[in-house]
């Protein structure tokens, strides 16, 4: 599939994110020396959750294929197109996107324990009514609260699941820290514990093992490339290239692939690694 040229939207999003970071840095220089202001990357709070979305940190750390050139995919199996969004995309014509061929979408629901995406309800309901198989994701900030607290907040504010054939597993978006230290100030062992606790709590609340969204580089750096979750949790890999590259340990295949941060559909461009029937099976927990 040949993607249309990259639109200015990702650049605008990145410039806003950079500007937000500069404003935050300026505020920290002039603010009183509180614990939160002193260490936003390791133990502080969330200051710009509206600028954090699925993959918002990836390009800055890992780049893109051929300097933002359109990406040509050459999958060797049938794949199903989709995308992921947050409030950044504004109002979406879901029927239009369905008509273009997209069949699934992941939608930002929450971050930390006090932020709910303002467009979540409209996106979640609108996509469902247009025929999409859709799911919700949580942008993880492991330094701000316990995994169980974030999982509970996520499930209570959109991250649930029902066996209706239209709802994908809840998803944990765990990637580079947009506030500072790459691994949120945690050791690899502590990060594995946090991830385990989040996944277990979501499973307890919903009966589903969550999808994990990450990159191979982040996963290797921050979890020690653990294979502990590969038998139960579907992998949503992020890599902006024409090939998916090396996967994190244990996963012999990816379930979803975020291959570009702009293209045919709003937001990031994704693929389910199989036909529509397989996507429906995943939604039904078959």
Q: Do residues 5 and 67 make contact, with C-beta atoms less than 8 angstroms apart?
A: no
Local structure of residue 255 (DSSP, 8 states) = S
Lowest mean pLDDT among 37-46, 94-103, 240-249: 37-46
Contact 210, 201 (CB under 8 A): no
d(CA 249, CA 232): 13
Task: Round to whole Å and give the CA distance between 71 and 240.
Answer: 8
**192 versus 25: which is more confidently predicted?**
192
Give the model confidence (pLDDT) of 3-38 as tens digits. Answer: 333 344 444 444 444 344 433 333 323 333 323 333
The model's pLDDT over 79-92, given as tens digits with 9 standing for 90+, comes to 999 999 999 999 99
What's the pLDDT tens digit per position in 241-274? 989 999 999 999 999 999 999 999 999 999 999 9
Band (44; pLDDT cuts 50, 70, 90)? low
Task: Count the Cβ atoms, other than its own, within 10 Å of residue 211.
Answer: 22
* Domain extents in the chain: 9-283
Assigned fold of 9-283: TIM Barrel (3.20.20)
The alpha carbon of 37 is separated from its chain's Cα centroid by a whole number of angstroms, namely 26
Q: What is the mean pLDDT of residues 212-235?
A: 98
Q: What is the dihedral of CA 201, 206, 207, 211, to 10 degrees?
A: -70
- DSSP annotation of 206 reads H
Instruction: Give the pLDDT of residue 35.
Output: 30
Q: Which active-site residues does the annotation give? A: 84, 173, 175
């Amino acid at each position: 599939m040949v993607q249309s040229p990259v639109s200015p939207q990702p650049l605008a999003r990145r410039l806003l994110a950079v500007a937000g970071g500069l404003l935050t840095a300026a505020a920290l220089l002039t603010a009183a020396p509180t614990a939160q202001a002193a260490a936003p990357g390791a133990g502080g709070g969330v200051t710009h959750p509206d600028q954090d979305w699925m993959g918002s940190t990836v390009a800055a750390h890992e780049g893109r294929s051929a300097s933002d050139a359109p990406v040509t995919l050459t999958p060797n199996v049938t794949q199903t197109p989709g995308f992921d969004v947050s409030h950044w995309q504004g109002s979406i014509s879901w029927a239009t996107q369905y008509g273009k061929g997209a069949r699934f979408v992941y939608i930002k629901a929450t971050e930390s324990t006090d932020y709910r995406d303002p467009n979540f309800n409209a996106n979640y309901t609108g996509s469902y009514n247009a025929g999409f198989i859709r799911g919700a994701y949580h942008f993880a900030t492991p330094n701000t609260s316990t995994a169980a607290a974030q999982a509970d907040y996520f499930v209570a504010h959109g991250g649930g699941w029902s066996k209706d054939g239209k709802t994908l597993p809840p998803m944990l978006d765990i990637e580079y820290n947009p506030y500072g230290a790459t691994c949120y100030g945690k050791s690899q062992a502590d990060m594995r514990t946090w991830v385990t606790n989040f996944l277990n709590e979501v499973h307890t609340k919903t009966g589903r093992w969550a999808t994990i969204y990450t990159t191979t580089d982040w996963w290797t750096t921050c979890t020690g490339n653990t294979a502990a979750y590969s038998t139960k949790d579907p992998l949503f890999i992020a890599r902006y290239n024409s090939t998916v590259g090396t996967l994190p340990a244990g996963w012999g295949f990816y379930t979803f692939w975020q291959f570009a941060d702009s293209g045919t559909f709003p937001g990031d461009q994704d693929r389910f690694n199989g036909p529509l029937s397989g996507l429906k099976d995943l939604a039904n927990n078959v």
